[in-house]
């Protein structure tokens, strides 16, 4: 198996009902750090033609499996613009957490709707957003300074209630809402500096 000349990674989050109806969330562009998802950026800075191709591929997979529920399909995009399926997750997914604040209905809402036979919800994006994972490394010297986060009104904090913080363990995430993704990233970078983010 050859090495991939990786340009980007994207993910498609869809929901499929028992009758075959599907809805798609906006494609997320994913940035990894040391092999763990760091940021999911929505809308993705990926060519629309590639996003369409990714949605079609994800739809074919869901249809072939006769899948019901939320499905995440991650793709590598190589430097020639070719899409390669990297991973599938038959559930709400980390790269879809942006939907909690930035879409009309979240991926969790869709999961319940799909498996209960209810009408699928609206997946429209209501704000550009960047999701940032919070790893256990942040707790190395005690709990993070939540005041530094909460003073930014456009940041939404989610903690997962895990008892033990370990390095590289996902402990929560932050959604940054802004008029554009560059500004959302800038707010998150300010937070990283305030927290002396371990890298």
What sign has the CA pseudo-torsion 17, 91, 123, 7? negative
- Pair type for strands 28-33 and 6-16: antiparallel
CA distance 33 to 133: 10
pLDDT tens digit string along 158-183?
A: 999 999 999 999 999 999 999 999 99
Burial label, 21 (beta-carbon count in 10 A; 0-12, 13-18, 19+): exposed
Phi (first) and psi of residue 105, to 5 degrees: -125, 140
For residue 198, pLDDT beyond 90: no
Would you tell me how many other CB atoms lie within 10 Å of the CB of residue 91?
A: 11
pTM as predicted:
0.95
Segment 91-140, tens digit of pLDDT = 999 999 999 999 999 999 999 999 999 999 999 999 999 999 999 999 98
Going along the chain from its start, the domains and CATH numbers come out as 6-194 (3.30.470.20)
Q: What is the DSSP string of 109-170?
A: HHHHHHHTTPPP----B-S-EEEEEEEGGGGTTSS--HHHHHT-TTEEEEE---S---TT-E
Cβ atoms of 117 and 18 within 8 Å: the answer is yes
Could you tell me if 195 and 138 are in contact, meaning their C-beta atoms sit under 8 angstroms apart? yes
* R_g (Cα) of the chain, nearest Å: 17
For the ranges 42-51, 63-72, 136-145, the lowest mean pLDDT is seen at 136-145
């Amino acid at each position: 198996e050859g090495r991939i000349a990786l340009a980007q990674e994207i993910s498609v989050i869809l929901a499929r009902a028992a009758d075959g109806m599907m809805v798609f969330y906006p494609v997320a562009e994913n940035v990894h750090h040391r092999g763990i998802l760091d940021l999911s950026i929505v809308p993705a800075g990926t060519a629309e033609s590639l996003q369409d191709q990714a949605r079609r591929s994800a739809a074919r997979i869901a249809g072939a499996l006769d899948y019901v529920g939320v499905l995440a399909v991650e793709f590598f995009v190589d430097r020639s613009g070719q899409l390669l399926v990297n991973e599938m997750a038959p559930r709400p997914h980390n790269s879809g957490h942006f939907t909690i604040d930035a879409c009309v209905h979240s991926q969790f809402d869709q999961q319940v709707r799909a498996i209960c036979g209810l009408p699928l919800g609206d997946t429209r994006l209501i704000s550009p957003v960047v999701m940032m994972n919070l790893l256990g490394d942040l707790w190395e010297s005690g709990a993070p300074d939540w005041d530094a986060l909460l003073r930014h009104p456009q940041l939404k904090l989610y903690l997962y209630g895990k008892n033990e913080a370990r390095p590289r363990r996902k402990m929560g995430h932050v959604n940054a809402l802004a008029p554009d993704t560059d500004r959302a990233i800038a707010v998150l970078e300010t937070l990283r500096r305030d927290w002396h983010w371990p890298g």
